[in-house]
Amino acid sequence: MSDLIEVRGLRKSFGEHEVLAGVDFAAEAGTVSVLLGPSGSGKTTVLRSMNVLETPDAGLVRIGDASLDFGSPPADKAAYRRAVKALRARSGMVFQSHHLFPHKTVLGNLLEGPVQVQGRDPEEATAAARELLAQVGLAGREDSYPSQLSGGQQQRVGIARALALRPEVLLLDEPTSALDPELIGEVLAVIRDLAAERWTLVIVTHEVRFARDVADQVLFLDGGVVAERGGAEVLTEPREERTRRFLSRVLDAG
Ligand SMILES: Nc1ncnc2c1ncn2[C@@H]1O[C@H](COP(=O)(O)OP(=O)(O)O)[C@@H](O)[C@H]1O
Ligand SMILES: [Mg+2]
């Protein structure tokens, strides 16, 4: 099978600080890639670059048939903007905290993107949104406001909202790290379901046990590069000393 995601030679500096020094990975459709690494190692920057919320200095990002070579982007501004838009449409982002619109209902939050931005038929988008809410275990909460939901429920709405845009890939940036411990499980369960349904996921998480269960591929980011990669065995039998040290710190903390 050919890869759905291709990230090659991704570089990004903030001022003098080189955060990504050539990040490479690829992922097949229907697989789960887990990205981990110390705080500040550039995990968020990788996801944001894939969604073009951040503009890398160099490197290629391809998702499906949309790709952008940031080292030699289209010279024509309109062509560049089209390429950004096409690439951005291929992925949905789930952030650490959900960024829901507080003044909109759950259903309103799910319809904003599909109807206002994508111009889809409101009836069709509503039916699709209801199905997504059922999928994340929130059938019947369509008319609630975010403030009436628990943090776990809000984060599940955040996942449904990202899926409502029909991305090919879902990018999740520490989706449970802002939650109270007792709410983490319900969000991880939803992500497990998505993995079982063969959604293509790239997840930054420090939930090592969860990662071991769902990961087809593990990427350990350190020093601006993928310092170790492999299957889920990277989490249990890391080859690199720095991976081992990181994992023992994370496991101690948990
Ligand atoms: N917009 C920004 N401006 C300046 N520095 C940034 C910006 N975004 C991230 N950084 C820096 O880049 C490094 C990597 O950040 P990040 O990708 O958030 O790492 P991680 O998600 O692995 O913790 C950090 O040192 C962070 O301070
Ligand atoms: Mg981060």
Provide CB contacts within 8 A for 226, sequence distance 6+: 23, 24, 25, 219, 220
Token output for 237? 């039998």
Mean pLDDT (the chain) is 95
Indicate if the alpha-carbon torsion angle 27, 28, 29, 35 is positive or negative. Answer: negative
Give residue 2's pLDDT band: very low, low, confident or very high (50, 70, 90). confident
Choose which residue among 45, 48, 204 to substitute to test ligand 1 binding: the one with the highest number of ligand atoms within 8 A of its C-beta.
45
Choose which residue among 12, 16, 18, 19 to substitute to test ligand 1 binding: the one with the highest number of ligand atoms within 8 A of its C-beta.
19
pTM, entire model: 0.96
Smallest CA-to-CA distance from 50 within 159, 204, 179 is with 204
Ligand 1 within 6 A of 49 CB?
Answer: no
**Is 90 exceeded by the pLDDT of residue 253?**
no
pLDDT at 1: 59
pLDDT at 99: 85
In angstroms, what is the span from residue 191 Cα to ligand 1's centroid?
25
pLDDT at 25: 98
Q: Are 150 and 157 in contact (CB under 8 A)?
A: no
**Is 70 exceeded by the pLDDT of residue 254?**
no
27 has which bridge partners?
A: 5
202 has which bridge partners?
A: 33, 171
CA nearest ligand 1 atom 7, residue: 14
pLDDT at 251: 81
**Is 70 exceeded by the pLDDT of residue 244?**
yes
Provide CB contacts within 8 A for 220, sequence distance 6+: 36, 37, 226, 227, 228, 229, 234, 238, 240, 242, 243, 246
Average pLDDT over residues 85-97: 94
In angstroms, what is the span from residue 43 Cα to ligand 2's centroid?
5
pLDDT at 126: 97
Choose which residue among 12, 14, 46 to substitute to test ligand 1 binding: the one with the highest number of ligand atoms within 8 A of its C-beta.
14
Return d(Cα 58, Cα 188) in angstroms, integer. 33
In angstroms, what is the span from residue 17 Cα to ligand 1's centroid?
9
Strands 217-222 and 32-36: parallel
pLDDT at 236: 93
Return d(Cα 165, Cα 214) in angstroms, integer. 23
In angstroms, what is the span from residue 133 Cα to ligand 1's centroid?
32
pLDDT digits (tens, 9 = 90+) for 66-86: 999 999 999 999 999 999 999
Ligand 1 within 6 A of 39 CB?
Answer: yes
pLDDT digits (tens, 9 = 90+) for 150-170: 999 999 999 999 999 999 999
Alpha-carbon 236 to chain mean position: 23
Q: Which domains does the chain have, with CATH numbers?
A: 3-90+167-253 (3.40.50.300)
**Is 90 exceeded by the pLDDT of residue 41?**
yes
Percent of the chain with pLDDT over 90: 95
pLDDT at 111: 97
Backbone φ/ψ region at 13: left (φ over 0), alpha (ψ -120 to 50), beta: beta
Nearest ligand to the CA of 46 is 1
pLDDT at 137: 96
- The CB density around residue 254, as the number of other CB atoms within 10 Å, is 10
